[in-house]
A and B are shown apart, each in its own frame.
Chain A
Amino acid sequence: MSTELKPDFCQTGNLTAGNRLQSIDVVSVQSTEDRANALTSGHRACQGCGEALGARMAIDKVMELSKNKVHVVNATGCLEVFTTPFPETSWNVPWLHSLFGNAPAVATGVQAALKAKGMEDVTVIAQGGDGSTVDIGFGCLSGMFERNDDVLYICYDNEAYMNTGVQRSGATPPTARTATTPLSGPHPGNNFGQGKNVPKIAMAHGIAYVATATIANVRDLEAKVAKAMSMKGARYLHIHVPCPLGWGSLPKDTIKLARLAVESGLYPLFEGEHGEITGVTKIRKKVPVDEYLKLQRRFVHLFKKGADTEDLAGVQAIADAHIKYYGLLDDGEK
Chain B
Amino acid sequence: MAFTLPYAITLEVGSSLENKTGDWRTERPVYLDRLPPCNIECPAGENIQAWLGLTQEGKYQEAWEEILDNNPLPSVHGRVCYHPCEDGCNRKQMENPVSIHAIERFLGDQALKNNWVVSKQADTGKHVLVVGAGPGGLSAAYHLCKMGHKVTVVESKAAPGGMMRYGIPEYRLPRDILDAEVKRIEDMGVTFKYNTRIDNLAATMKADGYDAAFLAVGAHLARKLEMPSDDSVNITDAVTYLNDIEANDSKPQLGKKVAVYGGGNTAIDVARSALRLGAEEVTVIYRGPQDKMPAHLFEIEEALEEGIKIAALRTITEYKGGNIIVEVNEMDADQRPQATGKTETIAADAVVYALGQLVDSSLLSDCDGIVENDNVIEVGQQMMTGMDGVFAGGDMIPSARTVTTAVGHGKKAARYITAYLKGETYTPAEKHETASFDKLNTWYYEEENMRQQPVLDLDKRKSTFGEVLGDLDEANAKYEAIRCMSCGNCFECDNCYTVCPDNAIIKLGRGNRFQINYDYCKGCGMCVEECPCGSMLMEPEEL
Contacts and interface: CB of A to CB of B under 8 A. Distances in A.
A281 interface: no
A40 interface: yes
A256 interface: yes
Given A11-B485, A17-B498, A28-B498, A42 B17 contact: yes
Of B57, B491, B504, B532, the most chain A CB neighbours within 10 A belong to B491
Interface in A277-294: 285
Contacts of A83: 16
A10 B16 CA distance: 37
B475 A31 contact: no
Interface string A237-269: 000000010000011111110010000000000
Contacts of A99: none
Contact of B482 (A11, A53, A88, A251): A11
A194 interface: no
Interface string A77-98: 0000001101111111100000
B478 A5 contact: yes
B444 A3 contact: no
A18 interface: yes
Contacts of A27: 494
Interface residues of A, number: 60
A254 B528 CA distance: 12
Contact of B57 (A4, A21, A33): A21
B185 to A, nearest CB: 34
A139 interface: no
B485 A41 contact: no
Contacts of A218: 498
A3 B477 CA distance: 10
Contact of B532 (A12, A53, A86, A256): A12
A48 B526 contact: yes
Interface string B244-257: 00000000000000
Contact of B444 (A15, A44, A86, A89): A15
A109 interface: no
B498 A19 contact: no
Contacts of B21: 41-44
Interface in B495-526: 495, 497-504, 507, 509-511, 517, 519-520, 522-526
9 A-B pairs with the lowest CB-CB distances in the bound complex, closest first:
A18-B494, A42-B16, A252-B525, A31-B494, A17-B498, A87-B2, A48-B524, A16-B493, A41-B520
A42 B484 contact: no
B530 interface: yes
**What does DSSP make chain A's interface, helix, strand, loop or mixed?**
loop
A84 B11 contact: yes
B501 A48 contact: yes
Given A43-B502, A83-B16, A89-B13, A19 B494 contact: yes
A56 interface: yes
Contacts, number: 184
Given A5-B479, A11-B485, A259 B443 contact: yes
B372 to A, nearest CB: 49
B475 A56 contact: no
- Which one of B12, B454, B493, B517 has the greatest number of beta carbons of chain A within 10 Å? B493
B3 interface: yes
B71 interface: no
Nearest to A83: B16
Interface of B: 1-3, 5, 7-8, 11-21, 24, 56-57, 443-446, 451-452, 454, 473, 475-476, 478-479, 482-486, 491-495, 497-504, 507, 509-511, 517, 519-520, 522-526, 528-530, 532
Given A5-B478, A17-B494, A89 B529 contact: no
B56 to A, nearest CB: 6
B493 A251 contact: no
12 contacts: A9-B482, A11-B445, A17-B493, A30-B498, A33-B507, A47-B523, A49-B501, A56-B501, A86-B7, A92-B13, A250-B525, A252-B529
B5 A53 contact: no
Nearest to B498: A17
A278 B19 CA distance: 44
A253 B444 CA distance: 15
Interface hub of A3, A11, A27, A250 (most chain B Cβ within 10 A): A11
Nearest to A285: B443
Contact of B16 (A17, A40, A253, A255): A40
A243 B199 CA distance: 79
A334 interface: no
Contact of A88 (B15, B494, B523): B15
Contacts of A49: 501, 524
A259 B497 CA distance: 18
Given A41-B16, A252-B526, A31 B501 contact: no
Contact of B502 (A1, A41, A92): A41
B501 A50 contact: yes
Nearest to B26: A47
A42 B504 CA distance: 9
A3 B16 contact: no
Contacts of A33: 507, 509
Contacts of B479: 5, 9
Interface string A297-309: 0000000000000
Contacts of B19: 42-44, 88
Interface in A23-72: 27-28, 30-33, 37, 39-45, 47-50, 52-53, 56-57
Contact of B17 (A40, A84, A86, A93): A40
Given A40-B16, A86-B8, A20 B495 contact: no
Nearest to B527: A252
Contacts of B57: 20-21
Given A41-B16, A44-B19, A87-B2, A251 B445 contact: no
B2 A10 contact: no
A314 interface: no
Nearest to A284: B443
Given A1-B452, A16-B495, A41-B520, A52 B525 contact: no
B491 A20 contact: yes
A13 interface: yes
Contacts of B525: 48, 250-252
Contacts of B20: 42
